[in-house]
Each structure stands twice: as C-alpha cells, then as structure tokens.
Structure 1
Amino acid sequence: MLCYNPAPEMLFNRAVVFLNKHRCALSYAEHNCRFSVAPMLDWTDRHYRYFARLLSRNTLLYTEMVTTGAIIHGRGDFLEYNQQEHPVALQLGGSNPSELAHCAKLASERGYDEINLNVGCPSDRVQNGRFGACLMAEPELVAECVDAMKSVVDLPVTVKTRIGIDEQDSYEFLTRFIDIVSAAGCQDFTIHARKAWLSGLSPKENREIPPLDYDRAYQIKRDYPQLTIAVNGGIKTIEECQGHLQHLDGVMVGREAYQNPYLLASVDSEIYGDSTPTVDRRAVVEAMVPYVERHLANGGRVNHVTRHMLGLFNGLPGARNWRRTLSEKAHLKDAQPQLLLEAMAHVGEPKELELN
C-alpha cells in the first residue's frame, strides 16, 4: 500500500481552502429541509455536527435533545455550537410552555435556525419528566407549548413525533394530534414511522422492534398538503431517500448518517442538485485537524471529536486500521490532532493498492 504523507504545511493550507469552500451555502429557508440528520443523544453533539457539515453543505443538522431544565438550571453552556453548523436546529425536551418559551427565546438569540419539540423519545427518564413520546396523548398540551414558543420567536417551531404510542396507534389518533398541534401554528412535522411502546421496550428496541409504516406518513401528507411532512426511521440509502421524497417534503436519517457518515457526501448532489464536487474523505480529515487543535486548546480531548469519525472510511481498504488507531490512541492524555493523519495513513483507495 502506498503511504500518504504530504508535508504538514500542505495539509493545513489545503484544510483552510477546504473550509472556505465548503461552508454552508444555503440559508435555512433556501435549503427547504429536504434532508436532515436526526437528533441522537450522545451522538449529534457539536463535534459531530461540525464534521457532518464538512461532508454536506445543505443538510439540516439537529442537536441532541436538550431539556429545558438543563438549559435553565444546568451548569455549562447547553446551547453552544459552531457557527459553521448552519443550518442547525435545536431540539428541546420539555412540557412546560413558559419554560419552553424561555429556552426558545435564548436559542433564537444565539442564532439557531429552528426550534424542534421532542414528542418521540420513549425512554423512562423522558416519561418521568413528562415529555417525549408520552406527549402524543396530550396534544392540547403540545399545542400550548408550540403556541408559547411561537409567541416569542420568529423561528420555525417544529415537532418530531411518532405514528402512535402503545395501543393508541390508529390513524385517527395521529390525525387528531396533527389537527390540534397544527392549529396552534406548527406547520412542520417529522414523523418517525414507528409507534412507541412506553413500557416493555428499551429506547434501542423502540427504534427496531415496532414495524415501520411509511404509508402512514404518506397518507398524512396527502390529507394535509398544506403542512411540511418529513419521515424518519430505518432509512439507510440515498435511493431510499429519493423514493420517500416522491411522497413527502423531507427525509430524516439517523443511525446510518452517524455510522456511515460518508453517506452525507452524496446529499448535496443527489438530493439538492448541487453541482459542487463531492468532497474527498482525506480533505475532510485534514480539515478536522485544526478543529481538534482548537478543541484541545480549550481543554478538550482528541477522542471527544474522533469518536464521531470512526465510520468515515467504511468499505475502503485499511478502514479497520483507521478505526483501531483512533479507538486505541485518541483517548490517551497525550494524544494530539495529528493522530488523525497517522490513522489515515493506513487507508488506501483501491487504485493505490499494489497487486501481489
């Protein structure tokens, strides 16, 4: 295998050029939310979102769910993000209208592009806090929350929900929820095309066991053509996204966009018709080196960032060595940003392989 070992000054010059060329080109309104990455706890933090933005200029990125209690009472800045992440949406967890309005106003002042209310998470912790999927049973309360947030911000206030909960999974149950919440001013719904079991299944099982019903989301769009409807759940390929977009306004991809992040590199051309050349994996790695340097300078650790990048070279020769190098070394106290370049040296494109 040929070794990839350009001079350090070349790496950082190319990284600067890359960042300047690939910052988000479209505003929130212009990109029209055709493709987004789902909010995923412990995964879609600001480091992942910075990395994802290098792969796609137009994808709408969501934060992890942030509770109103964390923002109002927690220590630390739970609204922190990188300016390069735009368009970026904040997903809030909560059910107190005044607290949600307060947090939405703070988010608006910080420059977020959208406020999304979580009405889809089924975990016990979330239910105990009276938010997430259990709120599907209280559409009037969700409507109050939406109305309170819309009264203090000019941003889109959207809702991510399920097709039902427990035994309440009829189409009539879903349409009643849509009717009441949309009447409060919510025009954008992302529908996870599985119902949620509020007891008996773990959050992981709730992402896999309840059967997918994309037709339910399609029917909502047919019955509510005035609303913006996106679908989430089990979507793994660009071809599947394109199929859903024949029926809906948007698609939201979760685990696949995290575990196989180079999927995002095709989004701009295949979903948005953007003629910008597809970004090269190596250029992305080079661009992440100065980002990791800044993170270290602010007291962070290399693995805070690199843990999100393990799947970048999936399918290429040397991908296992890339993952192993980062997994074994990035958590060490003396790990440096150049570890990314060391790990990348193990990866070869097919054309770079020597035939024995």
Structure 2
Amino acid sequence: MQIRLSKREWIAVTVGSLLGAATALFIHQQYNRSDSSTRGDLLGMMPPDASAVVFADVAVLRNAPFVRQLFAWAPEPQPDEDYTQFLKETNFNYERDLDHLAIAFKKAGRESTFFAVADGRFDRQRISALAAKSGSVERRGSREIFAVGENRGGGKINFTFLSDSRMALSDRNDLGQILSARKRSDDMMEWHARFERLAGSPIFAVIRQGAAPGETLSEQAPGGLASPELSAMLDQLQWITLAGKLESDRLRVVTEGESTSEETTRRLADLLNGVFALAQAGLNDARTRQQLDPSLREAYLALLKSADVTKLDRGDTQSVRVVFEITPGFLEAVRRSSLGSTSAAPAKPAAGDTLHPKKGGHS
C-alpha cells in the first residue's frame, strides 16, 4: 500500500525530522560539552609542580562492557569492616556514587604525597558529621577542612567540600593553600597539552620528568622481567602518558614517551621492539610451554604480537608510542589460570578476539 502525502504534509514531516535531528545534536553537544567542562575543571585544579596526574571518568568506566566483564571475572574482595561502617554511616559507595576523579602525586625523595578532586553524589551532612566525630574540623577562610586518621599508619587525610557534589582531598597539611594557590598559565600549559591529547580516553595518567618511572619499574618488576637498560631510558624521558580507550568489549592501551633527544627515542623504540621479540621467544621456549598454562601462553603471545611500536615527531619533542589491546579472551585466560584450571582445554578465542596491530590513536 502506498502512502500519499500532500505537499503541506511533506513539509511538516521534513521540518519535524530536521527539528528532531537538531534537538538530538544539541543534546549530544551539550552532554559532551558538560563532560569536557567537568574534566577540564578537575584537571585545571591539579598543582603544576606535580610529578604525575591520573584522571578517571568513573561514570563512563562503570557502564562500559569491558569494565563490567573485568569486575565479573575478578575475585570479589571481602568488604573491609571500616569501609562497611563508613558506608552505613555516610551512604556513600564509591562503586555507585563516584563519577570523576583526578589525582596529582608529588614525589620528594622516597616519599610521595597526593592531592585529589572527586565528583560524585555525596551526602555532605552525613560525611561531615562522621568526619567531625572521628577526626577534627577547622575553618580556614570560607572552608571547613576536616582531618581524619588513616586506617594504616599515623598519617591523616584532609578534605573539604568545594560543593555538594565535589570534594578535595590530600594527605598534606596545606590543603587550603593548595586550593588557593594561583597557577601560572605557562606552568600548566605543558600539562594541558598532554591532557588535550588524551581527551578521548576515560582513564589516563601523565608522568613528568622527575617522577623517576624507571626507578619505580625496577622496584616493582619481577626479577626475570626487570630491565636496567629500559629503566634508565625511561628516566631520560621528559613526559610519559598512559591511556586506556574503551572499544566495545575491549580496552585499547596507548602509552607514549617523549624526549627532546631523537637519539633517546630511537634507542627506546629499538629496545622495546627487542624486548617484545625476546618475550615472544621466551614464551615459545620448550620449558615455558611445559610450565605455563596453554591458554594463558596463547593469550600472552597474542598480546605481544598485537603491540605496535611507532615513532612520532611532535615538534618540540620526539615520541615513541606503544599500542596494544586487552580483549575478553585475554581476561578469561588470566582468570582461568588464577583459578588453577590448568587441566582445562585451551579456550578458543571468541569472535572478534583476534588481536591485530593498530596504529594511530591519540593525536
């Protein structure tokens, strides 16, 4: 059956469709603008003398299929007694109520301090009452600053409400000074250039020279995976960024190291390619084949084969970028291995789980 519309009816339908599309576009732009503004506000509050800054759009991560699968597969931790009591008295559950979080770390020698700003749904009255009861509160200017003891150690966490939906926290005693300090635009310019590059990622970290990432890698890496040469080279970089971008049911990880020296980035790219090749050779070793769960070994091999190392010219700096994907198949292999199911047959990759090198990403 054909539907015949008069000229007036066609005009009405066309105008209605255009209005609907314009409304949808306006809502989409307003949402993205609001989200971008929130991110910019939080990152703009980070102190410029930080060694590293971490940002997480928890609201986006919470609803992502990859993150839901990750939490479904990960062992569920037993609730801490103190946290259970805190939840009962404040009705704040970070898994449900936290939306955005930005944290700045400052390293001084072997010590590290933090300053954080968090957005979420807070019951301000109940949280303030609990903090005043279990800690102390003082007024500094127009702000009430609370201090509560940490569960472990003798330190204190200081926090204040910037609004009903935003809090600032630090383990430093000068929280008020951090918030009121004037930031020079040139101090923040280099930070914001990196933040802008990572605008499409709901979770990322930016590390500045002086944070000694190579030293940290040497301390944390297992003995067989420690690389003094790689650690020393990381400490020569001016900036390191690490970002996770959600793509359907998988996480695309993009890490980039910047240096003013082209020689440093060339050597780093060669070293990383060599490390990946050696790791693949190690996984193909006969002894490794006997000792490692077959499905886990295949998952590691797929991850290594997916890694793509490229060099970029960013004008003032030269960069080395490494891109790889973490898929549901990889998570499942790790989960099965952690449960000790070595007797199970290797899992076949799910459709779309095959990893391929992906170039590009953040601009």
Coarse TM-score class (shorter-chain normalised):
under 0.3
Q: TM-score, normalised by structure 2?
A: 0.27
- The structure number with the bigger radius of gyration is 2
Structure (1/2) with the larger strand percentage: 2
